[in-house]
Structure 1
Amino acid sequence: MTSTAPAWLMPVVAICILQTISSFLTRLIPIVAPAMSVEFGWSGSSIGYLTASNSMGGLAILLAGSALFKQIGGMRTLQLTLSLGAVCLAFLLYPSLGVALAACFAMGLSNGAANPAGSEVLQRFSPPGKRNLMFSIKQAGVPLGGVMAGLLVPVVVALAGWRMALLACAVVVLLPIVLTWRLSAGLDEIPARTGRAFPRPTWRSLRTLGVPLASLMNNRGLLQISIVGSLFAVSQSCWFTFTVVYLVDGLGYSLGRAGMVFAVMQAGGVIGRIALGWLSDHLRSATAVLSIAAVLSAVTTALLGLTSPEWPLWAALLLAFIAGCSAASWNGVQIAEVARRSPPHMISETAAGSSILVNLTNIVAPTLFAVFVSAGGGYGHAFICAGAFSLLVLVCLPRDRGDAGTQECPVSRRLPPLS
């Protein structure tokens, strides 16, 4: 008697792989950028602008990519944007900040496509009672990609230089795309074509750019939980963007040592996202879990600003791990709550709307952080200010009786056979 794999296994694995690679493509920027900055004569704060440009790419596809999602499927869209990002790594070899900003923008497209694609697939296939856990497993791919970047990139930079590191990263991105390419036919829901695949833009079609944000107005709790994501993103984006450059420029760490701290923080995110997802299902309360994460996020981000070269390495690693479990682990529970509170026919739109708010924060927060540091405010005060935003989560969290886990998602359907 042979046992068959559960219907949800293939979607979760495939989406998690692509989510991991999308994150890897984004996280490698602040790790390889210090080596590029030294050679090209850029300031350390320029990393904030590169990261902001990357987030703008994610925002652009969330605003304008809904037709692409509908016509070719979310997973296929994610694969294509990842392919473009891998190609754009070559443009980082050119010693121009403008070219680098454009390349980072294109690399960010996959980051914007990941959440709507994953939310639509997982909401259809997640088993009842395990929705938060499934979303958190998928979101664990984000810090897992950061772990890969934090461990791989500094080693290759040290052994072969940052140019060879970019080549190695391109191979890492392209390989999973090839392995999952055929799966998208069974996971994506593609409507029958009745005319032009991509009709010419009209004034009416341009107005649909606001549909993702307008969809958040379906109920008050949906808007509140989306704002919660943007508040969490302030500390998270500053951790992801400036940890390595702060440790290298501010505390005198080597790139390898700073990469280790970054990787530990991302590893904490892998564990934390799955743990918070399980705890949310167990307690049947997303509000309680996100409240705990908000307090820990505020404390760890402020403590990062108070670190000094005298801190032992184990203390920095411990702080980074706890931050990973909190400041970098809220995403799965928050995204699952957005999907749960959304009308069933608008899950991809509300997921995109919530992601737009987060991406706006990912643009604004690192930019203001970089401006503040360049103006002489210092990394320490900037991290303390960023941590304060996490405390605002406690004010904005929706507090109603329909908390996480009290409503089941639709019964998962079985995957269609793959050719």
Structure 2
Amino acid sequence: MTRAAPTWLMPIVAIFTLQTISSFLNRLIPIIAPDMSAEYGWSGSSIGYLTASNSLGSLAILVAGSAMLRQIGGMRTLQLTMLIGAACMAWLLVPSLTVALIACFFMGLSGGAANPAGSEVLQKYSPPGKRNLMFSIKQAGVPLGGVLAGLFVPVLVTVAGWRISLFICAIIILVPTMMFWRLSSRLDETPNKKAHFFHFPTMESLRTLTVPLAALRHNSGLMKMSVVGSLFAVSQSCWFTFTVIYLVDQLGYSLSLAGAVFAVMQAGGVIGRIVLGWLSDYLRSAKATLTLAAVFSTITTVMLGQTSSAWPLWSVIALAFIAGGSAASWNGVQIAEVARHSPPDLISETSAGSSILVNLINMLAPTLFALFVASTGRYDYAFMCAGALTLLVLVVLPREPRRA
């Protein structure tokens, strides 16, 4: 007699798949944008504008989307934003920077919806004793989506051109989104499934924009754990944004070699998120796990600024892999802890509020980093400051209750 699959398996598979595809969608822009900008005659700085617009879309759904998350459910919200993002990829065929900025904004919506949706589903369906591991597996979809985009899309653009690549990537996004469409109606628990989730703005509805951040004030542990995520995001965003350009400009790497090092870092993030989630459950201490991640994140970030062309390639690759396992792997444990500190009926809101803080840092930290390097020319000091800020995690981490 065959054993039935555990009830938590399909929810975990569904949210992990959608998290990966959402990340894939939002990693397309910096890969396709160079060829698109060259054909349209846009300046090289346009890539930065498109990426910033994408991040703004993620932030917008976190701030303004709490009502939708509560009304129609996290999974359905994530799927709708992914359908919108896939459809808006067609707007990139219009040779207008303004239209492209709008398209990138809507493509970024799913990036903001993924964390609240995942937290809502996993908090209900994660098996006892494996909650942090399940959250970390889900979060491993973020770097995995980046790895898939980095390996697949450049080859596709070379073979078929960026226009055909957009069409194929849209199909890749649509298929898994629709595959789990029916499952979402069973996973999402909404107060009134017949209610409409769109309403014209009123003063009352505008007040809901403050709900995600206000929800973080429910208890001190919740706010502290959200600040912890923001401090981790300083080093992570600087690694993600400046690794390639630093290796090319300062160490003289070719673009392909720098991209390979970046891919190693993303792969380290896939493994590291799962390992840290398992370690947190094994030790029964998220604080110990996040402390370890903060220390290694600080060390690797500072060391990146100390590298030079005299360093052997293997040492830089090893540094990138360790950074992926620490500076880019804290997310699952931190999100699980936010959900644990949250009241059961406010998980979507607190997850969104925590993600808002992280997304603000993801935009602010690289901007300040770039301004500092532009004015001083010192990458080493900039990476040192980023690492020092992440080390403040050790001060902010909330105390854990004593275990029997």
2:43 aligned partner: 42
Q: Is the 8 A contact 1:115 1:351 kept in 2?
A: yes
Distance 1:203 1:57 in 2: 23
Is 1:183 aligned with 2:216?
no
Q: Is the 8 A contact 1:49 1:366 kept in 2?
A: no
Distance 2:253 2:36 in 1: 17
Distance 2:221 2:354 in 1: 12
CA RMSD in angstroms comes to: 2.4
Structure 1 residue ranges without an equivalent (≥5): 408-419
How many residues align? The count is 403
Distance 1:247 1:260 in 2: 11
Amino acid at match of 1:349: E
2:154 aligned partner: 154
1:256 shift after superposition? 3.2
2:29 aligned partner: 29
Structure 2 residue ranges without an equivalent (≥5): none
Distance 1:269 1:233 in 2: 14
**Alignment deviations for residues 59-92 of structure 1 (CA, whole Å, 9 cap, x no partner):** 1111111221123221111111112222333444
1:35 shift after superposition? 4.8
Amino acid at match of 1:123: Q
2:364 aligned partner: 364
Relative distance call for 1:231 and 1:245 in structure 2 (3 A) is same
1:319 shift after superposition? 1.4
Distance 2:168 2:258 in 1: 20
**Alignment deviations for residues 5-34 of structure 1 (CA, whole Å, 9 cap, x no partner):** 001000000000000111112233334445
Distance 2:96 2:305 in 1: 31
2:77 aligned partner: 77
1:273 aligned partner: 273
Q: Is the 8 A contact 1:119 1:351 kept in 2?
A: yes
Superposition TM-score, scaled by structure 2 size: 0.91
Relative distance call for 1:163 and 1:365 in structure 2 (3 A) is farther
Pick which of 80-89 and 136-145 moved more: 80-89
Q: Which residues in structure 2 correspond to 1:217-228 (within 5 Å)?
A: 217-228=217-228
1:189 shift after superposition? 1.4
Q: Which residues in structure 2 correspond to 1:328-407 (within 5 Å)?
A: 328-375=328-375, 377=377, 379-401=379-401
1:214 shift after superposition? 1.0
Pick which of 187-196 and 272-281 moved more: 187-196
Distance 1:132 1:373 in 2: 37
1:248 shift after superposition? 4.0
1:137 shift after superposition? 0.8
Distance 2:44 2:383 in 1: 19
Q: Is the 8 A contact 1:30 1:241 kept in 2?
A: no
2:210 aligned partner: 210
**Alignment deviations for residues 290-321 of structure 1 (CA, whole Å, 9 cap, x no partner):** 11111111121222223334443322221111
Relative distance call for 1:248 and 1:295 in structure 2 (3 A) is same
Relative distance call for 1:162 and 1:276 in structure 2 (3 A) is same
**Alignment deviations for residues 361-382 of structure 1 (CA, whole Å, 9 cap, x no partner):** 1121222233334446354443
Relative distance call for 1:174 and 1:383 in structure 2 (3 A) is farther
Pick which of 252-261 and 339-348 moved more: 252-261
Distance 1:164 1:382 in 2: 40
Q: Which residues in structure 2 correspond to 1:98-113 (within 5 Å)?
A: 98-113=98-113
- Secondary structure, aligned partner of 1:2: coil
- Secondary structure, aligned partner of 2:325: helix
**Alignment deviations for residues 161-212 of structure 1 (CA, whole Å, 9 cap, x no partner):** 4444444432322222122222212211132256554333221221121111
Distance 1:33 1:300 in 2: 30
Q: Is the 8 A contact 1:154 1:256 kept in 2?
A: no
Distance 1:314 1:34 in 2: 29
Q: Is the 8 A contact 2:301 2:383 kept in 1?
A: yes
2:304 aligned partner: 304
Distance 2:47 2:311 in 1: 25
Distance 1:97 1:159 in 2: 25
Q: Is the 8 A contact 1:49 1:367 kept in 2?
A: no
2:284 aligned partner: 284
Distance 1:357 1:149 in 2: 26
- Secondary structure, aligned partner of 2:176: helix
1:129 shift after superposition? 1.0
Distance 2:308 2:30 in 1: 21
Distance 1:213 1:293 in 2: 25
Distance 2:172 2:179 in 1: 12
1:103 shift after superposition? 2.6
Distance 1:49 1:221 in 2: 36
Q: Is the 8 A contact 1:49 1:370 kept in 2?
A: no
Pick which of 373-382 and 5-14 moved more: 373-382
1:55 shift after superposition? 1.9
1:172 aligned partner: 172
**Alignment deviations for residues 354-404 of structure 1 (CA, whole Å, 9 cap, x no partner):** 1111111112122223333444635444333322221111111112326xx
Relative distance call for 1:307 and 1:99 in structure 2 (3 A) is farther
Superposition TM-score, scaled by structure 1 size: 0.88
Q: Is the 8 A contact 1:267 1:324 kept in 2?
A: yes
Q: Is the 8 A contact 2:70 2:348 kept in 1?
A: no
1:412 aligned partner: none
Q: Is the 8 A contact 1:151 1:260 kept in 2?
A: no
Distance 1:284 1:75 in 2: 29
Higher relative contact order by CA 8 Å / sep ≥ 6: 1 or 2?
1
